[in-house]
């Protein structure tokens, strides 16, 4: 950043005689000196005007090849599927590495076969059998075998990276060359949903091993294949990665060996672009798709571009710490009820913008087991005030912690926190805002020291079981001081939901669990922000996928 310097502006103190003649002579001299500069600039501008770099494709886009340009604000660390777990990483690895199962047409309620031709789950949900498609092959033409799947899964586990938890308690074996069997220690009906996560994409085991890849114990220190995979992908998907730059752009090129339907675009360029610039780029045709506009920006482009706008699988939530040692006030159950009914959820949606939705429960609205919108908590100020009186608290003051430098789908958490503060003031609760940079705020959040916190949870995979982290004694609950023994009723319902195997049982169990949490838990689910995807009208088949935004290989 350029700071302000002390800038000299000496008006001069010459006493020289300045006749009109000498002044005009000086001006003529200046004009003569300026001439070559003007000529040079003009020549450069002419060259720029007729410029055009070589392209290796016809760049008009559309069905006959061409380039699709997608603008997004990067959240990207790696293109190695065994390590990737960031939104942009998931989006770019999805069309490069086929998974055994996937989600089609944006429907995340039902995994469908991809590399597997079908799948079968045992009645106890402990054994899953996946016969592989015989025609599937990697980008180098090598057939995909069960050995590759086992290698890929074991590698993810042993790398101990962000996606490793997806395979906790899962053992992968090759029954034969074209059949994979996954067995789990406990009933795991959510496994098919996790299998569809791009991090579990299948890599070419022979090539990856030849470039330092390892699926053995100790791979977290011994595996050296990431750099290779960042430059030269080894998947069986419709695209290959031909350029990967973590801070600027990723280029995908059509995999001519793809075993399935060929994608329409020969090349996909995913660029790191700020949201404001994305809006202008889509309107000017510099890019075809923008993934990060806010709902306010979406209003400005409607009519000039196609816009998809719907809730995301991210839940913004408030918690009041259940641990008396952290705060005797926030751990009081009546105080928690006062907060729950004192919040004006509709006013929070105003902050989030069009397309956002109130979160009825902690599980996002389009996952199996989500609560019906009619079950969402509605503001009830008299009830909130009564609860506060019952708690024996008179105008209590509490600190609310949040990340001040983060914007989730156009929502500034500072604005959201200010709205929460105003809501609770109306029921007699004084909220002191405690903003901090994300990295600092994460520390206090993760060590469970926040009296009240305003945070968000983005689905790791599209199943309600991902939200068991909010039940007593689990990952997120411990941050809110909700210990394992805190609520036997909720713990029992969580266990029931975890072990239910049939779809009907699971739906019922998760709904009961969330209703119970909404009555007695320290979490207040607030809203699901809106995802805005804007695309040039030339783009066909645009659909939103809650996990990886868009299926670039299905676009026309």
Q: CB of residue 126 vs other proteins: minimum separation in angstroms?
A: 22
DSSP H or E stretch at residue 1: none
Of positions 204, 281, 336, 514, contacts other proteins by CB under 8 A: 281
* Residues between 72 and 111 that touch other proteins (CB under 8 A): 74, 77-78, 85
Count Cβ neighbours within 10 Å for each residue of 411-437 and write b for 16 or more, e otherwise.
bebbebbbbbeebbeebbbebeebbbe
Q: CB of residue 297 vs other proteins: minimum separation in angstroms?
A: 13
* Residues between 254 and 273 that touch other proteins (CB under 8 A): 267, 269, 271-273
* Residues between 104 and 143 that touch other proteins (CB under 8 A): none
Measure CA 433 to chain center. Answer: 26
3 state SS of 524 = strand
Of positions 7, 20, 35, 504, contacts other proteins by CB under 8 A: 7
Considering beta carbons, is residue 273 or 326 the nearer one to other proteins? 273
Of positions 124, 220, 350, 426, contacts other proteins by CB under 8 A: 220
Contacts of 69 (CB under 8 A, 6+ apart): 268, 269, 271, 281, 286, 287, 288, 289
Q: H helices within 164-274, ranges in order? A: 191-195, 205-210, 219-222, 226-231
Examine residue 300 and tell whether it contacts other proteins (CB under 8 A).
Answer: no
Examine residue 69 and tell whether it contacts other proteins (CB under 8 A).
Answer: yes
Q: CB of residue 459 vs other proteins: minimum separation in angstroms?
A: 11
Q: Which residue has the tokens 């989730």?
A: 408
Considering beta carbons, is residue 477 or 518 the nearer one to other proteins? 477
Q: CB of residue 356 vs other proteins: minimum separation in angstroms?
A: 22
Work out the number of other CB atoms within 10 angstroms of the CB of residue 484. 13
* Residues between 485 and 544 that touch other proteins (CB under 8 A): none
Considering beta carbons, is residue 52 or 303 the nearer one to other proteins? 52
3 state SS of 181 = strand
Considering beta carbons, is residue 251 or 338 the nearer one to other proteins? 251
Considering beta carbons, is residue 52 or 123 the nearer one to other proteins? 52
Site string for other proteins, 306-345 (x = CB under 8 A): ----------------------------------------
* Residues between 164 and 203 that touch other proteins (CB under 8 A): 164-165
Whole-angstrom Cα distance, residue 461 to residue 478? 21
The answer to whether the CB of 102 falls within 8 A of the CB of 551 is no
Measure CA 320 to chain center. Answer: 25
Phi, psi at residue 379, to the nearest 5°?
-60, 135
Considering beta carbons, is residue 69 or 343 the nearer one to other proteins? 69
Q: CB under 8 A: which stretch of 119-127, 278-286, 356-364, 516-524 binds other proteins?
A: 278-286
* Residues between 361 and 380 that touch other proteins (CB under 8 A): none
Of positions 112, 187, 280, 433, contacts other proteins by CB under 8 A: 280
* Residues between 13 and 52 that touch other proteins (CB under 8 A): 13-17, 22-23, 25-30, 32-34, 37, 44, 47-52
Token pair for 317: 């939530």
Contacts of 201 (CB under 8 A, 6+ apart): 81, 93, 94, 96, 97, 98, 99, 152, 235, 237
Of positions 351, 370, 420, 476, contacts other proteins by CB under 8 A: 476
* Residues between 416 and 475 that touch other proteins (CB under 8 A): 436-437, 439-440, 442-443, 446, 457, 460, 469, 475
Examine residue 11 and tell whether it contacts other proteins (CB under 8 A).
Answer: yes
Considering beta carbons, is residue 37 or 504 the nearer one to other proteins? 37
Token pair for 297: 């920006």
Whole-angstrom Cα distance, residue 42 to residue 5? 33
The answer to whether the CB of 537 falls within 8 A of the CB of 303 is no
Whole-angstrom Cα distance, residue 220 to residue 258? 31
Q: CB of residue 14 vs other proteins: minimum separation in angstroms?
A: 3
Whole-angstrom Cα distance, residue 522 to residue 184? 32
Whole-angstrom Cα distance, residue 361 to residue 475? 18
Q: CB of residue 270 vs other proteins: minimum separation in angstroms?
A: 9
DSSP string, 185-215: SS--TTHHHHHTSGGG----HHHHHHTT---
Q: CB of residue 429 vs other proteins: minimum separation in angstroms?
A: 28
Q: What angle do CA 409, 75, 108 make, to 5 degrees?
A: 65
Considering beta carbons, is residue 267 or 511 the nearer one to other proteins? 267
Q: CB of residue 414 vs other proteins: minimum separation in angstroms?
A: 18
Considering beta carbons, is residue 50 or 261 the nearer one to other proteins? 50
The answer to whether the CB of 294 falls within 8 A of the CB of 409 is yes
Q: CB under 8 A: which stretch of 218-226, 300-308, 348-356, 485-493 binds other proteins?
A: 218-226
Whole-angstrom Cα distance, residue 344 to residue 419? 9
Binding residues for other proteins, rule CB under 8 A, total 88
Q: CB of residue 192 vs other proteins: minimum separation in angstroms?
A: 19
DSSP H or E stretch at residue 5: none
Token pair for 326: 């952290």
């Amino acid at each position: 950043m350029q700071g302000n310097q002390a800038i000299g502006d000496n008006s001069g103190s010459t006493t020289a005689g300045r006749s009109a003649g000498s002044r005009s002579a000086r001006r003529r001299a200046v004009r003569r000196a300026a001439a070559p500069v003007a000529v040079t600039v003009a020549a450069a501008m002419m060259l720029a005007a007729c410029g055009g770099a070589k392209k290796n494709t016809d760049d008009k886009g559309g069905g006959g090849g061409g380039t699709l340009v997608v603008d997004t604000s990067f959240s990207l660390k790696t293109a190695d599927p065994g390590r990737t777990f960031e939104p942009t990483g998931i989006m770019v690895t999805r069309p490069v590495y086929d998974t055994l199962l996937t989600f089609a047409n944006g429907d995340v309620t039902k995994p469908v076969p991809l590399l597997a031709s079908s799948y079968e789950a045992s009645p106890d949900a402990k054994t899953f059998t996946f016969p592989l498609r015989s025609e599937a092959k990697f980008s180098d033409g090598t057939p995909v075998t069960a050995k590759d799947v086992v290698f890929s899964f074991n590698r993810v586990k042993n790398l101990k990276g962000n996606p490793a938890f997806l395979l906790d308690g899962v053992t992968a074996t090759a029954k034969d060359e074209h059949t994979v069997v996954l067995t789990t220690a406990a009933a795991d009906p959510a496994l098919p949903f996790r299998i569809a996560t791009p991090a579990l994409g299948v890599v070419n085991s022979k090539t990856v091993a030849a470039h330092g890849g390892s699926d053995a114990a100790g791979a977290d220190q011994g595996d050296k294949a990431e750099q290779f995979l960042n430059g030269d992908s080894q998947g069986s998907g419709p695209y290959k990665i031909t350029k990967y730059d973590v801070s600027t752009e990723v280029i995908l090129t059509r995999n001519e060996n793809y075993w399935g339907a060929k994608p329409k675009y020969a090349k996909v360029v995913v660029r790191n672009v700020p949201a404001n610039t994305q809006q202008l780029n889509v309107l000017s045709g510099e890019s075809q798709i923008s993934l990060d506009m806010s709902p306010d920006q979406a209003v400005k482009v409607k009519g000039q571009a196609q816009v998809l706008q719907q809730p995301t699988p991210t839940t913004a939530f408030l918690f009041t710490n259940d641990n008396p040692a952290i705060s005797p006030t926030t751990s009081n159950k009546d105080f928690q009820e006062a907060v729950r009914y004192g919040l004006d959820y509709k006013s929070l949606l105003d902050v989030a913008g069009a397309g956002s939705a109130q979160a009825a429960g902690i599980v996002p609205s389009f996952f199996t087991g989500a609560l019906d919108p009619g079950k969402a908590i509605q503001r009830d100020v008299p009830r909130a005030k009564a609860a506060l009186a019952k708690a024996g608290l008179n105008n209590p003051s509490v600190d609310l912690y949040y990340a001040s430098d983060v914007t989730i789908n156009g929502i500034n958490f500072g604005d959201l926190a200010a709205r929460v503060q105003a809501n609770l003031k109306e029921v007699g609760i004084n909220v002191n805002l405690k903003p901090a940079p994300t990295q600092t705020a994460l520390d206090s959040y993760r060590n469970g020291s926040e009296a009240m916190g305003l945070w968000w949870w983005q689905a790791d995979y599209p199943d309600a079981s991902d939200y068991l982290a909010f039940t007593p004694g689990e990952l997120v609950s411990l941050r809110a001081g909700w210990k394992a023994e805190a609520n036997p009723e909720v713990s029992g319902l969580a266990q029931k939901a975890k072990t239910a195997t049939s779809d009907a049982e699971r739906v019922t169990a998760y709904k009961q669990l969330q209703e119970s949490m909404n009555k007695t838990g320290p979490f207040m689910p607030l809203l699901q922000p809106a995802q805005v995807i804007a695309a040039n009208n030339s783009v066909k088949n645009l659909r939103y996928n809650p996990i990886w935004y868009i299926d670039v290989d299905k676009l026309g």
